[in-house]
Amino acid sequence: MNIGHFFTWLPSWALFALIVIICVMAAEAGAWLAQRRSKKGIKEPDAPIGTAVGAILGLLAFMLGFTFSLTESRFGNRKELVIEEAKAINTCYLRSNLIPVKQKTAIRKYLKEYTNILLKSSEIEFSRKNRGDNGNIIRLEALHDLMWQQASTLVNENLDGEIRTFFLGSLNDVINIYQERKTVSLIFRIPDVIWTSLIVISILGTFVVGYQTGTFGTRRLISVPLMAAAFALVIVMIADMDSTGPDKFEVSQQPLKEVKDMMNKNP
């Protein structure tokens, strides 16, 4: 099972509720076990239990901070790539004025469709399950081939070599940035082993907290659900930033919208 895909696929409220319920149940299990051992006359020393609680919660805090840093960095890369992609498309569109009308007309048509698809899909949305049959992705890559076919015919035109190289460089930038953006969306995700570690450590942390409270003869404390909610809130934020789906942390597409407006003003 792909845990990362499952967490990013779930609605935020459902993931939050699921984590809170799991953590509270773990705390209840810990309290029940402590009380059962207490009834058997087994007395746990307070100091070792407190040390274990502090160590596990400290490790959980470290893992949450580390994972949040990873996904925040990737989210920042996604924003930068939108700007870079918009700049590359804008440059390629304007430089098409330097080439013959036949190729210019075709490439500008393809660039307009290309930009519309990017805006329609909000982001290059890749998941590990549908990356092979995503219609928008297939069309974007087909447009790369069509634009490059038009650009390759420039070798048969009476065109200055430097101008040809100038334009081909801008078209190549469009394709390269797309590949980089696709890689960031598809590959640079939080590994499943980190997701598994977060959940396991969260369960262990709340379990030992419940066990500690159970040694004092108590079972339900308001602090346990609140602690579970705090853990769940951070994990949900991490999952939302790691996702490129709807209703998550979406990267603004304003740079691409401005490019589209420029194209409409300069048909």
Distance CA 80, CA 84 (A): 6
Please give the Cα distance from 64 to 60 (Å, whole number): 6
What is the 3-class SS of 183-240, one letter each residue? HHHHCCCCCHHHHHHHHHHHHHHHHHHHHHHHCCCCCCCCHHHHHHHHHHHHHHHHHH
Residues of the chain with pLDDT under 70: 1, 41-48, 122-134, 216-221, 244-248, 267
Quick check: 120 and 136 in contact, CB under 8 A? yes
Instruction: Note the pLDDT tens digit of each residue in 214-230.
Output: 776 665 567 788 888 99
Question: How far apart (Å, rounded) are the C-alpha atoms in residues 143 and 39?
Answer: 72
Q: Name the pTM for this structure.
A: 0.77
pLDDT tens for each residue of 167-222: 899 999 999 999 998 888 777 788 888 898 999 999 998 898 888 887 766 655 67
Integer angstrom CA distances of residue 212 from 40, 119, 130, 209, 229: 16, 53, 45, 5, 19
Whole-number Å distance between alpha carbons of 242 and 237: 9
| Interatomic CA distance for residues 236 and 226, integer angstroms | 15
CB 22 within 8 A of CB 198: no
Q: Which two tokens stand for residue 164?
A: 């040809």
Q: Which amino acid is at 199?
A: I
Domain extent at residue 179: 3-265
Residue with tokens 């939302």: 240
Whole-angstrom distance, CA of residue 127 vs CA of residue 136: 13
* The total number of structural domains that make up the chain: 1
Q: Extract the tokens encoding 59.
A: 């490790």
